[in-house]
């Protein structure tokens, strides 16, 4: 600081010496004619005397110099000194009477010119100061726009304000915002300082201070308004940067939240898609219904299971998917139970085309986030094949039981029956001439019952000992005709035959097919109770030949149609229910199939389908 102050003093002294030297030179030039006259140089005196009125103009030089360097006071002081220098010449040397007046007037002119020059200089300095201040305010605004942080802006603000002040080396700036301080290098607090608060609304952000290194605070004179303007601009810029930084932080947080939500939504969409594909790919029918049982969703398996489209299903209720006898049960038991818990059971479903199929159904409630039941989900599985396999298993178990019965009892029964038959024969021979008619009828009835018992034993043994078929080409029409001759047909039963001419041969065992046809014909005759009509029809369709035995007997109830081929099932007072079971086994063993259609009190029709022989001699 001492070096700077010393430098300032040297600068001032240099100008003073210059003004003094210039004034002395002007004085010598002004008194030059008098000096020439004193030393007797008349020509020089006369020559300069003629120009003496203009010689005083040289004093404008020190006055203008002082006005430009020191201002109005300096100009007036030099003008006064100049006038005092001119007075001796006017008193002692000048030859004109108004010399003092002219000298005084010239001094006034010098003062006026000095004052004008000083005012022009002051105005120019004020203009330059204003331009500098405006430039600094512009630089502050530009720094605020370009700065990405408050620290960077305030560092620039300190530099800009320092460069704006006169004698910027002497003026130091310090800005304090919140808990951060930014200051010029070598900043030292000084009593002669200017301090303004950085205020936005009612919020005080900090302060701005300007201090001078000089012992005098003249460098800060007149800067109070400028500092206040700086404080206002800095306050607004700091608040804007704070808001921008807050907005940037909030924007970054918002972007992070959006990205996280996007990832969460993507994961949730992936899980939802996986769940949707799982439901779509499920082989079980899955439906969703509201609390009243109205369907709202059905997957593809459910649509294929019932044969309805999605739009058709969502306009239906759960009971409409099942048989009429199940609807009331669904309304009364299943739907109420599904609102609170899980229900599982087997129901008879009905497809769009009217065909029925067994379905294993599991229903359960669907809860929302608050635990309230909002829907009922149902899983349906077509168990037709499962039930068929179960029936086949039951049938196999029954067959095994019949086999054990036949093998264990057949031989044991046949020996006593043979003994009874021999005894009846011996009684007939012994009592042939002496027995009355009633005794003979009794013996005849006993012999018939032995035949019936033998047939039962034979059926049992045949059922369990069916030999493999000996396949050979068979003429179906001839075999049916031959089978009709094996059975005694009552007189009141009419038999009609409608055979397709040139019916292709079938590859089968003629003896086994004949037994099967004979069993069907016998059942038909028994169902008509001695009177009625038996119609036999043959035909060809696609790759098989068929024969139908149609009677007008009592018919079979619908609930028994699936049971007539089961072993040991019968509704007749006589027999043990093996005839149709044996018949089915014989036909299937020969590569055929048997179908039944019946109406109570209208009659029954059995249709047997057998593969025909191709040109190469093999069955289709």
Summarised one tens digit per residue, pLDDT across range 187-217 is 777 666 788 888 888 888 888 888 876 555 4
Written as one string, the DSSP assignment of 76-137 is HHHHHHHHHHHHHIIIII--STTHHHHHHHHHHHHHHHHHHHHHHHHHHHHHHHHHHHHHHH
Q: What is the pLDDT of residue 461?
A: 65
Task: List, in order, residues 6 or more apart from 239 with CB less than 8 Å away.
Answer: 200, 203, 205
CA 475 – CA 102 distance, rounded (Å): 170
Enter the tokens of residue 525: 């005759």
Q: Tell me the domain boundaries of the chain.
A: 2-127, 148-281, 282-382, 389-463, 469-611
Could you tell me if 607 and 595 are in contact, meaning their C-beta atoms sit under 8 angstroms apart? yes
Identify the CATH class of 282-382: alpha beta
- β-strands 493-498, 532-541 pairing: parallel
pLDDT per 10-residue tile (average), the chain, 620 residues? 49 78 86 76 71 76 86 87 83 70 82 87 81 83 85 87 70 86 80 81 86 58 77 87 87 91 88 80 86 88 89 88 84 86 89 88 89 88 82 68 64 72 78 75 77 69 68 86 83 87 84 85 84 90 88 86 74 68 84 89 90 63
Written as one string, the DSSP assignment of 172-227 is EEEEEETTEEEE-TT----SSEEEEEEEETTEEEEEEEEEESSSS-GGGTT-HHHH
Tell me the backbone φ, ψ of residue 217, rounded to 5 degrees: -95, 25
| Model confidence, pTM | 0.43
Sheet-wide strand order for 603-611: 493-498, 532-541, 544-551, 603-611, 593-599
DSSP reduced 3-state for 471: coil
Residue listed under structure tokens 């086949």? 392
Q: What is the pLDDT of residue 217?
A: 47
Could you tell me if 519 and 580 are in contact, meaning their C-beta atoms sit under 8 angstroms apart? yes
Q: What letters, b where the CB count within 10 A reaches 16 and e where it falls short, cover 367-398?
A: eeeeeeeebbbbbbbbbeeeeeeeeeeeeeee
Enter the tokens of residue 158: 């300190």
Task: List, in order, residues 6 or more apart from 291 with CB less than 8 Å away.
Answer: 339, 373, 374, 375, 376
**Do 148-281 and 282-382 fold alike per CATH?**
yes
CATH annotation of 148-281: 3.30.450
CA 318 – CA 341 distance, rounded (Å): 17
Task: List, in order, residues 6 or more apart from 13 with CB less than 8 Å away.
Answer: none
Q: What letters, b where the CB count within 10 A reaches 16 and e where it falls short, cover 171-184?
A: bbbbbbbeeeebbb
pLDDT tens digit sequence for 321-342:
888 888 888 888 888 888 888 9
CA 468 – CA 445 distance, rounded (Å): 37
Task: List, in order, residues 6 or more apart from 447 with CB less than 8 Å away.
Answer: 421, 424, 425
Residue listed under structure tokens 């305030």? 154
Could you tell me if 391 and 384 are in contact, meaning their C-beta atoms sit under 8 angstroms apart? no
CB 237: neighbour CB atoms within 10 A? Answer: 21
Q: What is the pLDDT of residue 459?
A: 64
Q: Does domain 469-611 have CATH number 3.30.565.10?
A: yes
Q: Does domain 389-463 have CATH number 1.10.600?
A: no
For residue 171, give the H/E element and its range: strand 171-177
Residue listed under structure tokens 């500092």? 227
Q: How far, in whole angstroms, is CA 74 from its chain's centroid?
A: 86
Could you tell me if 604 and 524 are in contact, meaning their C-beta atoms sit under 8 angstroms apart? yes
Tell me the backbone φ, ψ of residue 224, rounded to 5 degrees: -60, -45
Q: What is the pLDDT of residue 463?
A: 61
DSSP assigned state of 542: T
Across 233-342, where does the E strand assignment appear? 285-289, 295-298
């Amino acid at each position: 600081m001492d070096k700077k102050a010393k430098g300032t003093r040297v600068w001032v002294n240099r100008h003073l010496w210059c003004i003094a030297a210039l004034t002395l030179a002007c004085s010598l030039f002004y008194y030059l004619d008098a000096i020439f006259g004193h030393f007797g140089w008349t020509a020089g005196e006369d020559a300069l005397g003629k120009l003496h009125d203009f010689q005083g103009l040289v004093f404008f030089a020190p006055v203008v110099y002082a006005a430009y360097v020191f201002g109005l006071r300096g100009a007036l002081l030099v003008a006064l000194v100049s006038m005092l220098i001119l007075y001796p010449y006017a008193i002692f040397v000048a030859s004109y009477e108004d010399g003092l007046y002219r000298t005084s007037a010239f001094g006034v002119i010098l003062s006026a010119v000095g004052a004008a020059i000083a005012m022009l200089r002051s105005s120019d300095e004020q203009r330059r100061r204003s331009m500098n201040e405006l430039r600094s305010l512009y630089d502050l605004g530009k720094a605020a726009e370009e700065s990405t942080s408050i620290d960077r802006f305030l560092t620039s603000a300190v530099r800009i304000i320092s460069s704006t002040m006169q004698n910027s080396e002497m003026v130091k700036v310090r800005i304090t915002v919140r808990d951060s301080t930014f200051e010029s290098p070598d900043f030292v607090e000084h009593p002669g300082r200017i301090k303004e608060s950085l205020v936005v609304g009612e919020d005080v952000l900090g302060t701005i201070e300007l201090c001078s290194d000089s012992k005098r605070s003249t460098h800060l004179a007149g800067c109070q308004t400028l500092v206040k303007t700086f404080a206002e601009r800095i306050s607004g810029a700091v608040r804007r940067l704070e808001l921008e930084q807050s907005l940037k932080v909030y924007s970054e947080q918002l972007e992070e939240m959006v990205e996280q939500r996007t990832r969460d939504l993507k994961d949730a969409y992936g899980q939802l898609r996986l769940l949707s594909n799982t439901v779509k790919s499920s082989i079980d029918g899955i439906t969703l219904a509201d609390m009243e049982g109205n369907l709202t969703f059905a997957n593809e398996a459910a649509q294929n299971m019932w044969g309805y489209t999605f739009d058709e299903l969502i306009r239906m209720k759960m009971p409409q998917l099942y048989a009429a006898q199940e609807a009331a049960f669904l309304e009364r038991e299943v739907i109420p139970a599904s609102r609170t818990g899980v229900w599982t059971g087997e129901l008879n479903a009905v497809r769009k085309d009217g065909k029925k199929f067994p379905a294993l159904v599991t229903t359960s409630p669907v809860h929302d986030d608050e635990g309230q039941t909002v829907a009922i989900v149902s899983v349906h599985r077509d168990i037709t094949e499962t039930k068929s396999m179960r029936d086949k298993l039951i049938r196999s178990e029954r067959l095994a039981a019949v086999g054990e019965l036949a093998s264990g009892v057949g031989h044991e029964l046949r020996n006593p029956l043979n003994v009874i038959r021999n005894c009846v024969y011996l009684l007939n021979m012994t009592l042939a001439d002496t027995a009355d008619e009633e005794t003979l009828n009794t013996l005849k009835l006993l012999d018939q019952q032995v035949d019936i018992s033998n047939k039962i034993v034979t059926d049992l043994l045949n059922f369990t000992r069916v030999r493999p078929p000996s396949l050979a080409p068979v003429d179906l029409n001839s075999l049916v005709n031959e089978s009709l001759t094996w059975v005694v047909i009552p007189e009141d039963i009419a038999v009609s035959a409608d055979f397709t001419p040139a019916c292709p041969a079938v590859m089968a065992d003629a003896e086994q097919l004949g037994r099967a046809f004979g069993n069907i014909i016998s059942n038909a005759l028994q169902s008509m109770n001695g009177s009625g009509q038996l119609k036999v029809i043959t035909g060809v369709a696609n790759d098989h030949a068929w024969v139908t035995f149609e009677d007008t007997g009592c018919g079979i109830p619908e609930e028994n149609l699936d049971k007539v081929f089961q072993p040991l099932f019968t509704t007749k007072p006589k027999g043990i229910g093996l005839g149709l079971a044996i018949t089915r086994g014989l036909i299937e063993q020969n590569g055929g199939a048997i179908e039944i259609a019946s109406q109570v009190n209208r009659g029954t029709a059995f249709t047997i389908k057998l593969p025909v022989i191709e040109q190469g001699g093999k069955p289709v």
